[in-house]
Each structure stands twice: as structure tokens, then as C-alpha cells.
Amino acid sequence: DTAVSQTPKYLVTQMGNDKSIKCEQNLGHDTMYWYKQDSKKFLKIMFSYNNKELIINETVPNRFSPKSPDKAHLNLHINSLELGDSAVYFCASSQDRPRGYRYEQYFGPGTRLTVT
């Protein structure tokens, strides 16, 4: 019973291509996130979706577009891939009702994207 799943786990592609990463959570959580972990292991928020509405976009290039067909899914689509997009992308989810800060986030296994 995987709580947060991502596909694919590895993605190797060439510059200029368009690719998508899929994320699904079966925890019934309200909010889903995308984080990027760079080569130095630094994790930074990219997007957050709460009940299918975008509530964060942290200075991410508009080549990145999150798509949430329903509360359990948050996919990440990337256009015109660049070398600098190579990283590990993590999907996460958390319960946020009642409103608060105390809920931990559950992370997916990550997708290692390599752009050549």
C-alpha cells in the first residue's frame, strides 16, 4: 500500500524535449507538493496544490506546469527541458484540515531526471 507514488523513478531525456512526472497519493490528503532536490541535496518547494487549486509557485520557470486532475493526483509537466533541470523531483502530500502547521508531509520515492 504505497502512500505516495511517483512514475517514473528514472527519466533520461535530451534537451528540448517535453516530459511529465506523475504523482498519486492514497492518503486522502488535502494538499500536494512538488519539491526539487539539486545535486547538492538542497530541497526547495516548487508548487503546492490544495483541493486542486495552486497556492504556491516559487519562482519556477513557466516551462514547469503542475496539473491536478483530482485531489489524489498532481502531475508535473516540463517543456523544453534544459541541462539545469537535471535533479531529483519529489512529490509530497499532507493533511491540512483542520488548518494548521503540525502535519508532516509524506514524500514519494522521487524521480531522478537527467537531461543530456
Which of 73-101 are b and which e, b meaning 16 or more Cβ less than 10 Å from the residue's Cβ?
Answer: bbbbebeebeeebbbbbbbbbbbbeeeee
Q: Shortest approach of other proteins to residue 75 CB, angstroms?
A: 18
Q: Shortest approach of other proteins to residue 87 CB, angstroms?
A: 12
Residue with Cβ nearer other proteins (37 or 65): 37
Residue with Cβ nearer other proteins (46 or 81): 46
Q: Shortest approach of other proteins to residue 80 CB, angstroms?
A: 26
Distance CA 113, CA 88 (A): 6
How many CA atoms does the CB half-sphere of 17 hold within 13 Å? 14
Q: Shortest approach of other proteins to residue 55 CB, angstroms?
A: 5
Distance CA 79, CA 65 (A): 8
Residue with Cβ nearer other proteins (9 or 18): 9
The residues binding other proteins (CB under 8 A) are: 31, 33, 35, 40-45, 48, 50, 55-56, 58, 88, 90, 92, 94, 96, 99-102, 104-107, 109-110, 112
Residue with Cβ nearer other proteins (10 or 15): 10
Contact 49, 74 (CB under 8 A): yes
